[in-house]
Each structure stands twice: as structure tokens, then as C-alpha cells.
Structure 1
């Protein structure tokens, strides 16, 4: 890698750190290319990303960013998981790490607050942004359906009474 490639990589990583709200750092030693591609695919589906990085260049990109506290974690074969929704990336990482012990989550940061591995695990157990939205919509819709049911019930009862009288008269 020549100097201009390194500079562009540092610039790209700096932009990534500036635009994301969550970054997790993990060791991936022993994972095959197929394993990494599977993990990247799962991350993409969740709206997150996973990238193998060069430690020295990543440390340079971290300087002055809200994730600067993570620079101590970049030793050995490291990769980063990143997203705007902190729960989605943490969920995918934690789930994959449970299935494959070669992925070891070292820690991460959410909006500048540094988290250890147990913090990432706790974050992964929270409902995602989409799940929270679905619950909120369900809570909003429930009263509306109840109101509609209550308003329709008297009309239905009147119709049943009239139908019963008409059958009585016919008999």
C-alpha cells in the first residue's frame, strides 16, 4: 500500500467514524473468507457494516473522533462493525460470536461512550429500532380498533334484534 492509498483509507475511515453512531471492535482470527462473507451479509441485511481494518491506520482515523477511546482495542487481527442503529450491529455480532467462537468481541462505543464486551452483549439484547417502531404502531392501532369495535357493536345488536323480530313475525 503506497502513501496515497493509506491517506485515502484513513480519510475513508474518518468519514465512517464521523457518520456512524455505533462501532464495535472484534478479533476475527481463524475465520475463513466464507465465514467473513457470511457475517458481512448478515450485517448488510441488518443495515450495518463489517470491515477488516489495519490497526495503525484505524488508530490514525480515530484521532479526534467520538470513538477515540477505542484505539487501545486495535491490537492483533481486528475488524469493526458499525451502524447508525446501535442495536442491529451489536445483535448480529453477538449472535454470530455465539455460533462461531473465532469471532471475539473486544468492545465498542455508542455515540462516544466506550463499552466493554459485556456492554455490547447487553446492547444486543435490546429490541432493535424496527421492533420498537412496530410495537409503537401496534400500541397506537390497538385503541383505534377497540373504538371501532365499540362503535359497531350497538348497530350490530340492533340489526340482530330486528332480524329476530322479523323471524318471529314470519313464524
Structure 2
């Protein structure tokens, strides 16, 4: 029979997995409490960094219905950054903190129900933020619309210039 405190912890973890858009698993061995506090602050409002027990995390993943296979990542001391919102921003925060504080090791993660390796999380962190990508897309679409408008406007103006040139030529021949 499971103890009530462990059952509550599994329920809370499974709820976090269900509600988050992504989760990044890390190893925190060697970080001080002050560094962990700094990491939590640096992740901001859209991510929550929690130290977890591996066996409870495995149970929570099954309870949450997450099909990603991350059992091999749940070895040693583990912590999870539960991300609500932009996963790229949280991955950047973790990557930058790991560069500055070598004891933090990114193991991998789960993004939209799919497991990711540490390299995949790093590649994700190299992406620009969602807002920047959307603004680039909007700029590209606006540029294409401008080009299309110029093409559509060029045809009537070329027709008018051609008609004017023909009229000028006829008036020269008549004179």
C-alpha cells in the first residue's frame, strides 16, 4: 500500500506533467541552495524547477499518460523544469545557467509528449524566441504582399506608358 504522502506527490507531479507544455530533466548534483534559488529566479514565471524522486516521477508519467520514454534519464539526482508557455525561453535559461554553473547537467526532456535528448534541448535553446520567429514570419509575409502589389500595379502602369508611347509616335508621324 502506498503511503499517502507519496501518493499525493505522484498526483501533484502527474498534474504538473499534464498542465505543462514541456519538461526538461536535469541533474543538479553539486549546486548550492543559493545557486538553485538563482536558477529558479532566472527561469521566470513560465517555468517551475522542482527536485524530484525518480521512482515517483516514473509513476507520475504513467499516471499523466505521457508516452515519452525517459526512464534512462531518470538516474541519479534529478530535477525537472516544468514549462508553461514558451519552451524555447526556458531551454535558453537552463542552457545559459548550465554554462555558468557546470554542476547543472541537462539530461533531456519531454516537449509536447515526445522525449528529447540533451542535444535536442540544446538545439531548441539555440532557436530564437516565439515572438521573434512570428515577427520574422510576419515581415516575410508583408514583403511578399508588397512584391505582389508591385507586380499587379506594374501591369496597368506599363500599359498606360505603352499607350502613351504609341500616341506620341503617331503624333510624330502625323507631323
TM-score by length of 1: 0.73
In the alignment, structure 2 segments of 5+ residues that lack a partner are 145-175
Q: Which residue of structure 2 lines up, in the alignment, with residue 103 of structure 1?
A: 104
| Whole-angstrom CA distance in 2 between matches of 1:67 and 1:82 | 17
| Whole-angstrom CA distance in 2 between matches of 1:34 and 1:48 | 18
CA contact (8 A) 1:48 1:88 kept: no
Q: Which residue of structure 2 lines up, in the alignment, with residue 54 of structure 1?
A: 53
- Computing the radius of gyration over CA atoms, which structure comes out larger, 1 or 2? 2
Q: Which residue of structure 1 lines up, in the alignment, with residue 17 of structure 2?
A: 17
Provide the aligned C-alpha RMSD in A: 2.5
TM-score by length of 2: 0.72
Superposed, 1:104-143 pairs within 5 Å as: 104-135=105-136
| Whole-angstrom CA distance in 1 between matches of 2:29 and 2:67 | 23
Task: Return the offset for 1:140.
Answer: 8.0
CA contact (8 A) 1:48 1:89 kept: yes
Task: Return the offset for 1:4.
Answer: 1.4
Q: Which residue of structure 1 lines up, in the alignment, with residue 81 of structure 2?
A: 81
Q: Which residue of structure 2 lines up, in the alignment, with residue 168 of structure 1?
A: none
State how many pairs are aligned: 144
